[in-house]
Structure 1
Amino acid sequence: MNNNDTVTRRRPTDGQLALARKVAAGEARSNAGVGHVPASVYIDPDHWAREKRTLFDRMPQVLCPSALLPDPNMSVAHDATGRPLLITRDGDGKAHVFMNVCRHRGTRLVEGCAVAKGKRMVCPYHAWSYATDGRLLALPRPDTFPGFDKDAHGLVELPSHESGGLIWFSPVEGADFSDAAEVGRDFDAIGFAGKHLYERRTHLVASNWKLIMDAFLESYHVLRLHAATIAPFFKDGITAGDQIGPHQRSLVGRAAEMEGIDLSDWDELRKVGTFAYQLFPATVIVVSPDYVNVMTIMPQGVNRTMAEDFMLIPQPPQSEKAESHWRRSWELLDGGVFASEDFRAAALGQEGLETGAVTQLTLGTLEGGIRRFHEICTEEMAKGDAALANG
């Protein structure tokens, strides 16, 4: 083979390949029989307050895919974590997360939640202006602020991390992003960072955040709940799963369809299996054969959750035919599968649980991912309690 015949193949990570080999060998996720989850974890306000304190006010969390801010000098406000945030990409291409608060009088700096492009962000009250790297650039009538140190009045920055095409932040200093970096290697294998953001949409769901997470931790419901939408594209298959820190990774596929497939070739593997990631505490990524869905799940209360869905495709549509294809895919998934089916089921589940008729949820052997997710919640909340107790 000469150099002109050489083709660079995208390869899965060792972890992805290990799951593929398990599915190909017919080895299902390890399950320990029927299990249960207390209904109280979905409906008890005190439990939710503890989750907020120990998980969402402490742990690193995904805010958005990198594709939301593809170019230098871009910014977008983000309010759904319970604090006014501002995500930027500075002139050198580095991502930042700031408090969306002017350092002068505390005014919200950027209004709305639309992505903006520009080197300056200007406060609507007194026109103090900031660079996308957080520096205070200028203020009107600087002579009226004698002795003012402009360099000491940049935007308040929070810890953040970008890898694998995702932007993470931490609400507290000293965050450990090592697990985020490790899972980012999986997304690099997928080519995630080079994807184009086709569409984004935010949904408000009348349910506890964990009911939405639960839906993406098992494939038992797919042929039933999604019978009129995506079920024809799926078959009950084998699920293999593992963990990267507190994050769960799974692959659903059928052993028969993997016969003769080069599992070390990412493009071939993606045709016969669906990878899903549950990034703790509340982000879901589903890797379909030709696009990727990222869903950030942001609880607003014990029975109210905001979910922002992002659809990433290989490149911007190059023709009307391509645009029509991606539009149909987007509306099928976000408007049909997620909004009309998964989110509806979560809301119906919340209604039922709040009656008190069911004191515990019953989980079968195809729902082991849910059981493990709740175990991780318990483990991480205990860590949070200990950290708070130690100051």
Structure 2
Amino acid sequence: MDVPLLSTRPTPGQRALAERLAGGEEALGAGLARLPASLYTDEGRFTVEQERLFGRLPLLLAPSALLPSPRQATAHDAYGLPLIVSRDGNGRAHVLANVCRHRGTRLIEQDGVVPAARIVCPYHAWTYTPDGSLAALPRPDCFPGLDKKDHALRRFPVRESGGLLWYARSADADFSAVDALAPDMDAFGLSSLHLYRRRTHDVAANWKLIVDAFLESYHVQRLHAATIAPFFADGITAADRIGPHQRAAVGRTDYLAKVNRDDWRQLRKAVTYTYHFFPNAILIVSPDYVNLLTCYPQDVGRTLVEDVMLIPAPPQSEEEERHWQKSWDLLDGGTFAAEDFRAAALCHQGLASGLIGDVTLGTLEHGLADFHAMIEAALEG
């Protein structure tokens, strides 16, 4: 099934990674590296990460496809704040506090996307527009001197770019690295895709253990032997960076040698691109669909991981439905839940025991060392 493309060609960076794959490149680090086990298990470390990473950096909220139409909204609590993600009548995205300015009542109670031409408080019916402005309140005579302009919902910085929605707690967050991702996302047609499935996994592991699994290819032939391993050559991978975000590619080198690497449709069938959106989200681009995984740390040993699958268009037949359901089951239930997330939970159990003081990384796992070095730099800076 063809994927709608906003570009008929890969970006120069995407093509460059494919060239390196075709040459049989193994992205190897220079020797062994070690990381302290406490990076994953220390409560104080977790608190600092929440303050200095998740409290300051732009964070992925959702694909644009979560809110496909104007005047829609959804509650979003996974980052530890009660938020509303909404679209106004012009389709512009907003991120608001899900807290009424009157008495602090939660405004949107239910899960899922709801109509939001107006957002009405269930307690006293104060009414807000999708951009957070206070539109009306009952018995305004009971609030002498109240200026509605001063009682809008708290707004957070938001950026919609390349089919993705981002927000930040900090008013001075720098979104330039988010904007730099847009050409690659547009090449995948991300903003035109349809949200097929969405599921949240509760994983008993530190959030970084889950991200780690998508930054190295060493485990693919072993952990994924029963699912996706047959599709890929062992260790043949290439990676680079777009600002703090990692762009990686794996593929079948024998097939790559036969395709026109300027033909985006051929290349999409030969290469799986994976993006790590620093610090906590992963985008995996399969030939005809996309999975977006966002890790929401809940405590040092517990992470909610939302998996969203995006497809070209809503299924139009039973055959199409079976095709997409099979793909969803393969990755969400098989590869991710039963393999990647299970492995992360087992790792956390072992590290939390205190029986080893550090973890050892081989040359095919240098992406992990780079990730943790970037975390250190972000915590210091």
Cα distance in 2 for partners of 1:234, 1:113 equals 38
Amino acid at match of 1:106: G
Between 161-170 and 328-337, report the one with greater CA deviation: 328-337
Going from structure 1 to structure 2, the CA distance change for 1:50 and 1:8 (only over 3 Å counts) comes to closer
Q: Distance in 1 between matches of 2:11 and 2:294?
A: 24
Task: Give distance in 1, aligned partners of 2:233 and 2:15.
Answer: 21
Q: Which residue of 2 aligns with 1:378?
A: 376
Number of equivalenced pairs: 377
Assess, with a 3 A threshold, how the Cα gap between structure 1 residues 23 and 104 changes in structure 2: closer, same or farther.
Answer: same
**Deviation sequence 1:26-72 (CA, Å, 0-9, x none):** 33324112211111100111111111111011111001110000100
Question: How far apart are the structure 1 equivalents of 2:213 and 2:305?
Answer: 13
Please show how residues 267-346 of structure 1 align to structure 2 within 5 Å: 267-346=265-344
Deviation at residue 252 of structure 1 after TM alignment: 0.9
Following the alignment from structure 2 to structure 1, what is the Cα–Cα distance between the partners of residues 127 and 178? 32
Does the CA-based 8 Å contact 1:190-1:266 persist in structure 2?
Answer: no
Residue 141 (1) aligns with residue 139 (2)? yes
Q: CA deviation at 1:231?
A: 2.1
CA contact (8 A) 1:249 1:278 kept: yes
**Secondary structure of residue in 2 paired with 1:380:** helix
Q: Which of 153, 156, 161 lines up with 1:155 in the alignment?
A: 153
CA distance in 2, matches of 1:36, 1:175: 31
Post-superposition shift, 1:265? 2.2
State the distance in 1 between where 2:185 and 2:285 align: 10
Which residue identity does 1:200 align to in structure 2? R
Task: Identify the residue that residue 93 of structure 1 maps to in structure 2.
Answer: 91
Alignment check: 8 A CA contact 1:76 1:114 kept: yes
1:26 to 24, 27, 39: 24
Deviation, 1:133, is: 1.5
Tell me which residue corresponds to 1:253.
251
2-side partners of 1:208 and 1:324: how far apart? 34
Alignment check: 8 A CA contact 1:182 1:244 kept: yes
Find 1:81's aligned residue among 79, 82, 106. Answer: 79
Cα distance in 1, alignment partners of residues 25 and 232 from structure 2 = 19
Any idea what the Cα deviations from partners look like across 1:294-351, whole Å, max 9, x if unmatched? 0110101111111111000011001011111111211221122111111111111000
- Deviation of residue 291 (structure 1)? 0.5
Q: Residues of 2 paired with 1:255 and 1:229: CA distance? A: 19
**2:291 partner SS:** strand
- Matched position secondary structure for 2:296: strand
Q: Distance in 2 between matches of 1:315 and 1:255?
A: 30
The 10-residue stretch of structure 1 (129-138 or 187-196) with the greater mean CA deviation from structure 2: 129-138
Give 1:113 shift: 2.2
Query: Residues 9 and 343 (structure 1 numbering): CA distance in 2 closer, same or farther, change over 3 Å?
Result: closer
CA distance in 2 between partners of 1:265 and 1:94 (Å): 34
What secondary structure does 2:53 align onto?
helix
* Equivalent of residue 175 in structure 1, options 173, 176, 196: 173
- Deviation of 1:9 after TM superposition, in Å, equals 5.8
For residues 173-214 of structure 1, what are the alpha-carbon distances to aligned partners after superposition, in whole Å with 9 as ceiling and x for unaligned?
111101001112210111010000001011111100000001
Conserved in 1, the CA contact under 8 Å of 2:232 and 2:252?
no
1:133/1:369 Cα in 2 relative to 1: closer, same or farther (>3 Å)?
same
Instruction: Give 5+ residue unaligned stretches, structure 2.
Output: none
1:165 corresponds to: 163
**What SS does structure 2 have at the residue aligned with 1:119?**
coil
In angstroms, what is the RMSD of aligned CA positions? Answer: 1.4
2-structure distance, mates of 1:147, 1:333: 57
Partner SS state of residue 26, structure 1: coil
On the 8 A contact 1:195/1:314 being kept in 2, the answer is: yes
TM-score (structure 1 length as normaliser): 0.94
Residue 232 of structure 1 and its aligned partner are, at CA, apart by 2.7
* TM-score (structure 2 length as normaliser): 0.96
Amino acid at match of 2:188: I
Residue 266 of structure 1: CA displacement? 1.8
Unmatched tracts of structure 1, length 5 or more: 1-6, 384-391
Structure 2 equivalent of residue 367 of structure 1? 365
- 1:180-259 correspondence runs (5 A): 180-259=178-257
**Distance (whole Å) between structure 1 residues aligned to residue 6 and residue 310 of structure 2:** 22
C-alpha separation in 1, matches of 2:237 and 2:373: 19
Counterparts of 2:332 and 2:55 in 1: how far apart (Å)? 28
The amino acid of 1:42's aligned partner reads Y
Native 8 Å contact 1:10 1:190 kept in 2 = no
For the residues of structure 2 that align with 1:380 and 1:267, how far apart are their CA atoms? 37
| Aligned counterparts of 2:282 and 2:355: Cα–Cα separation in 1 | 29
**What is the distance in 1 between the residues matched to 2:52 and 2:6?**
44
Offset at 1:18?
A: 1.5
Partner of 1:389: none
Deviates more, 1:169-178 or 1:137-146: 137-146
Say whether the 8 Å CA contact 1:237–1:253 is kept in structure 2.
Answer: no
For residue 388 of structure 1, what is the aligned residue in structure 2? none
